[in-house]
Amino acid sequence: MPTDRTETAAVAESKLDALADHIRSASSTVTLTGAGVSTASGIPSFRGEDGLWDRFDPMAFHRRRFDADPEGFWRDRVSLREAIDGDRDPEPNAAHRALVDLEAAGHLDAVVTQNVDGLHGDAGSERVLELHGTNRRVVCDDCGERADATPVFERAATDEVPPRCPCGGVYKPDVVLFGESLPEETLSEAQRLTRECDLLLAVGSSLSVRPASLLPKLAVDAGGRLVVLNFDPTERDELADLAVRSDVTAVLPAVVDRL
């Protein structure tokens, strides 16, 4: 099992035991997941070394660009989707499945995710709050009608740009663009769950992107415990009762085995 390079095997094992104890003793646990859960399924991250934002200009996907130049926005968005998907058909990995097991065993109340790939739902998680929306759908910017993203992107890839809804409005990927606010209802529910939980388990997130990065402090300020599971240090480690520097696809199944 990959562990932090500064930790001995004994320290790593003791942290897994401590994490299992935290989950076992909590009456309410919420998990916040980030890109580190998706990359194990072959989905490239946006930030960090070799991230997609090194290859694409983030401002090309700003709300202002969508409004001012929907044709150019969609041409670039098709290229971005191709870079994300490539020839892959991403499937849930061991971390996704472990969270399903925790939920089924009554140890997990909800998954709050920054990811837009839909893999938590594919894995079988029942209560998933997608803070940044989902790339599985598009939404009409005029009438609000939602549709499956795949055929719309296929139309856009064959020069039907911008793709339009039957009402005549322009479709937009059903994700939160730069310059847009998170869905108010989803964010409000995530904040409520965070305030009320005994344990917030932050998994595979750098905890650097607001407003999701504010959830750990919200949990701690409300009296809950925070556990951070991420291969690299995060901006909220100082708030954590426990920080585990390991591969999420190895740690979460190992914790499930301990419960």
Catalytic residues: 132
Q: How far apart are CA 181 and CA 114, in angstroms?
A: 13
Strand order across the beta sheet in which 225-229 lies: 128-130, 110-113, 29-33, 199-203, 225-229, 242-244
Name residues whose C-beta falls within 8 Å of residue 68's C-beta, 6 or more positions apart in sequence: none
As a three-state string, the secondary structure of 190-243 is HHHHHHHCCEEEEECCCCCCCCHHHHHHHHHHCCCEEEEECCCCCCCHHHCCEE
The one-character DSSP state at 135 is E
9-25 helix and 248-258 helix, angle to the nearest 10 degrees: 60
Distant-in-sequence, close-in-space partners of 104: CB < 8 Å, separation ≥ 6: none
